[in-house]
Amino acid sequence: MQTTVSTGPARRVGRGGLVSDGLLVTCALLMLLTLYLVFLWVPTDANLGVSQRILYFHVPLAILSLISIMVVAIASAVHLARKDEKSDAIAYASAEIGIVFCTLAIVTGAIWGKPVWGVWWTWDPKLTLTLVLWFVYAAYMMLRAYGPKGSQGARYGSVLALVGAIDAPIVYYAAELWRSTHPSHVIGVSAESGSLPTEMAIALVISLLTFSLLFAYLIIERYVLRRTETDIDELFRSFT
């Protein structure tokens, strides 16, 4: 008798499908547009000079690192309520991408700080709380990697994410809540009107859109990969 082996999982190993590929292509095209706008279209800031152009990468990275922890928290809450693996996989994927965005936001912020403030780092409330957010992400990833496996680890991670997500709104409003050297919001509902010239605001919004698509693309890819990892782990366990 001939033995047949399903190739179903093999086809979907780490593949997000057409939506994911479409997102990547759109993101690549928008990234070229963003680079054109940032380097050739927007005027150079009179006070900060060319270093102001760092803002077009730093702000989207920082905003998405905050959105990411909110995604982790919401997916974790759903996981705790429904006990389904899909929401846990979304939380895990978002946390992993969140730590990448948060790291890049801190590094780009430090590089912006050196020419503008004269120091790489200062214990400003917004900066310090962003560092706390980075530690929340790191704690989540370490818990998932070295903590209990299976549903127990997912539950612990969910609780940690829910507690850690409290930091996100505080980071967002830190410059408004405390006397901070960090600039206040330049876009969004709480931004003062005219705080950013129109051309700069347009470039920033397009950059934010581009990075949001990149974020969505990475989430889909990592989510599919995480699901496959879980499936293969279960398969291995069933063999042994």
- What is the rounded distance in angstroms from the CA atom of residue 179 to the CA atom of residue 122? 13
Number of residues that bind other proteins (CB under 8 A): 52
Tokens describing residue 77 = 């809450």
- CB neighbours of 57 closer than 8 A, spacing ≥ 6? 38, 108, 207
Phi then psi for residue 148, to 5 deg, are -60, 145
Stretch that binds other proteins, among 29-37, 135-143, 145-153, 165-173 (CB under 8 A): 29-37
- Toward other proteins, which CB reaches closer, 53 or 79? 53
Give Cα 111 to chain centroid, integer Å: 19
Neighbours of 200 (CB within 10 A): 22
User: Would you say 174 or 220 has its CB closer to other proteins?
Assistant: 220
- Which residues 72-101 are close enough to bind other proteins by CB under 8 A? 97, 100
3-state secondary structure 5-32: CCCHHHHCCCCCHHHHHHHHHHHHHHHH
Residue 178: CB minimum distance to other proteins, A = 26
| 145 lines the binding site for other proteins (CB under 8 A) | no
| 8 A C-beta contact, residue 24 and residue 31 | no
- String of contacts with other proteins for each residue 101-140, x by CB under 8 A: --xx--xx--xx-xx-------------------------
Which residues would be at the binding site for other proteins (CB under 8 A)? 1, 3, 5, 9-10, 13-16, 20-21, 24-25, 28, 31-32, 35-36, 39-40, 43-44, 48-51, 53-54, 57-58, 61, 97, 100, 103-104, 107-108, 111-112, 114-115, 214, 218, 221-222, 225, 228-229, 232, 235-236, 239
